[in-house]
């Protein structure tokens, strides 16, 4: 299935800003993050279609995953 992956801040270093990527059906959010070679501990915020989601959530075709390192403060 296809997912849109958006990366922000330092996660873009040596990766990308936004990409359409193919993943196995029923893959979990945590597995997608692992495939991007990002460790869970580095993740500050992860949104699926704009909402917070647990790492064991199964994803479905066409969803948008946005990944941020720990950032805060405005």
Partner 1 sequence: MMAHTLAKEKNMDKILRVNMSNLSTSSENVPAEWAGLGGRALTSTIVAKEVIPTCHPLGKNNKLVFAPGMLSGTAAANTGRLSAGAKSPLTGTIKESNVGGTAAQMFARLGIKAMIIEGLPTGDAWYGVHVSKDGVVITEETELIGKGNFAVVEALELRFGKKTGVLSIGTAGEMRMLTSNISVKDTDSKIRSHGRGGLGALMGSKKIKFIAIDDTAAPGITLADPDKFKEAARIFAKALISHPATGEGLPTFGTAEMVNIVNAAGGLPTRNFTYGQFEGRENISGETMRETIIERGGKPKHGCQSGCIIQCSQVYNDKDGNYVTSGLEYETIELMGANACVGNLDDIAAADYVMDDIGVDSIETAVTFGVAMEAGVLPFGDGKEVLRILTDEIGRGTPLGRILGSGAGNVGKIYGITRVPVVKNQGIPAYDPRSIKGIGITYATSTMGADHTAGYAVGTNLMGVGGGIVDPLKKDGQVDLSRHVQIAAIMLDSLGLCLFVGFPAADVPTCVPSLIDMLNARFGLELTPEWIGGLGMTTLKTERAFNIAAGFTNIHDRLPEFFEEPLLPHNAVWDFTGDEIDEFWNF
Residues engaged in binding partner 1 (CB under 8 A)? 6, 8-10, 12, 17, 44-45, 47, 50-52, 66, 68-74
Q: Work out the burial of residue 55: count CB atoms within 10 Å of its CB; fewer than 13 is exposed, 13-18 middle, 19 or more buried.
A: middle
First to last CA, the chain: 36
**Residue whose entry in the numeric block shows the structure tokens 């993740």:** 43
Give the nearest distance from C-beta 69 to partner 1 in angstroms.
Answer: 7
Give the nearest distance from C-beta 37 to partner 1 in angstroms.
Answer: 18
Nearer to partner 1, 26 or 40 (CB): 40
């Amino acid at each position: 299935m296809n997912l849109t992956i958006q990366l922000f801040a330092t996660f873009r270093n040596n990766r990308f800003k936004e990409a359409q990527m193919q993943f196995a059906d029923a893959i979990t959010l945590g597995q997608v993050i692992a495939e991007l070679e990002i460790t869970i501990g580095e993740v500050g915020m992860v949104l699926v279609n704009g909402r917070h989601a647990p790492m064991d959530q199964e994803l479905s075709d066409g969803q948008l995953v946005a990944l941020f390192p720990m950032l805060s403060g405005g």
